Amino acid sequence: MATAKELPSGSWRVRVYDKETGKYISFTSELKGKAGKNEAELMAKEWQVNRKQTQKKHTGNKTVHLCVEEYIKSKENLLSPSSIRGYYIILRNALGDFGTQKIGTITEKDLQCWINENVTKYSPKSVKNQYGLVSAALKQNHIHLDFDTIRLPRLQKAEKRIPTEEEISKILHLVENTSIELAVTIAITLGLRQSEIAALKWSDYNGVTLKIHAAKVPDKNNQYIIKNTTKSEASTREIEVDTLLKKRLDRAERTSEFISPLLPESVLKRFNNICTQNGLPRFTMHAQRHGNASMMLAKGVPDKYAMKRLGQSSPNMIKDVYQHLYASKEKEVAQTVSDAFSEIYDTKYDTDSKK
């Protein structure tokens, strides 16, 4: 609580900062001594209580839609353009009638009913992201609900389709001399993200290494922009190119300042067409990044170095690839164990030693 100060005149004054106007408000008592101090502080306290109640009433009249929109705007300069774009997609498509409700009237039941409705239209991961955005916006507006009682759909871990060594070899041959040759070769041999590949310029290549320091991502209006930072500090890196990639880079025509001038979705579309026409699964470009990680782990590259090359700040992706490798070898392991026990069983048992 603000403390009153005695003025030269003997009066007492309290100054309170008003966050809404950005100015100080003064409360002065003409009484002398302790009585004046108490009166000034009481006036200030009453104003603060009334202000808080007014603000709470005003805040409570906001709709969920407005509340979420204000939250997104408050984070626009802090989060990546792709994150903000994802938030706006949720704002436009996922709130439904729930978006018109006043946040001051919301109960846990209302929030749960909205989640239950969206479960029938969206994946568990999408619903979780939608709830995360809405709950954060409500908390920002000091809406106190028992969020621990809210139940979300269980996430289903999807099996990632990672290309085998044979498929990688086939892909590298199929994309040769095509418009996506460099983009796909970089994804496979260096494990770069799509956004990183799209932002690479010829000035980032010195004949030996590639510098990764930017990303091309869609903004909230779905327009591609160059972001002069990568996903994380670990993602800003310099990687030595391998022999195959160097050969393809050195012979390429430099028709643009960008090594791969096509937009990410155009690269993916052409890549999918090549896969389909040649009997391969419709791999994502990100699957080539996982394929690169899989190759490094299979060849015994330590996690620390694999993470550095991939620009990973956490080992989560490495762990996912490990699980994939283990799953692919389950039959091989099972057969090895089976053969071992068969060999033990078939070994001549020396019954004489038991006599």
Domains of the chain, first to last:
5-60 (no CATH), 64-149 (1.10.150.130), 165-328 (1.10.443.10)
Under 8 Å CB-to-CB from 182, ≥6 apart: which residues?
Answer: 248, 249, 252, 259, 260
C-alpha 348/C-alpha 355 separation (Å) is 16
**Per-residue model confidence (pLDDT) at position 355:** 47
Q: Which residue type is seen at 98?
A: F
Q: Which two tokens stand for residue 296?
A: 């490094």
Under 8 Å CB-to-CB from 341, ≥6 apart: which residues?
Answer: none
Helix (H) or strand (E) holding 16, with range, is strand 12-18
Q: Which of 4, 53, 8 minimizes the C-alpha distance to 26?
A: 4
C-alpha 72/C-alpha 88 separation (Å) is 8
C-alpha 224/C-alpha 36 separation (Å) is 63
Under 8 Å CB-to-CB from 320, ≥6 apart: which residues?
Answer: 160, 290
Per-residue pLDDT of the chain in tens (355 residues, 90 and over written 9)? 678 899 999 999 999 888 767 788 898 998 989 998 999 899 888 888 777 666 555 566 899 999 999 999 999 888 888 889 999 999 999 999 999 999 988 999 999 999 999 999 999 999 999 999 999 999 988 888 999 999 999 887 666 788 888 999 999 999 999 999 999 999 999 999 999 999 999 999 999 999 999 999 888 888 888 888 777 777 899 999 999 999 999 999 999 999 999 999 999 999 999 999 999 999 989 899 888 888 888 788 888 888 888 888 777 777 777 666 666 666 676 777 777 777 777 775 555 555 4
**Per-residue model confidence (pLDDT) at position 263:** 92
C-alpha 60/C-alpha 69 separation (Å) is 15
**Per-residue model confidence (pLDDT) at position 312:** 82
Backbone angles phi, psi at 320, to 5 degrees: -60, -40
The two beta strands, 12-18 and 237-240, are unpaired
**Per-residue model confidence (pLDDT) at position 352:** 53
C-alpha 175/C-alpha 186 separation (Å) is 12
Residues in the chain, total: 355
Query: What is the distance between the terminal CA atoms of the chain, rounded to a whole angstrom?
Result: 93
> To 5 degrees, how large is the angle CA 292–CA 297–CA 300?
130
C-alpha 68/C-alpha 74 separation (Å) is 10
**Per-residue model confidence (pLDDT) at position 329:** 63
- String of DSSP letters for 95-109: -GGGGGSBGGG--HH
pTM over 0.75: no
Under 8 Å CB-to-CB from 16, ≥6 apart: which residues?
Answer: 2, 24, 25, 27, 44, 47, 48
Q: Which of 313, 314, 315 minimizes the C-alpha distance to 235?
A: 313
**Per-residue model confidence (pLDDT) at position 227:** 84
**Per-residue model confidence (pLDDT) at position 328:** 62
> To 5 degrees, how large is the angle CA 156–CA 157–CA 158?
105
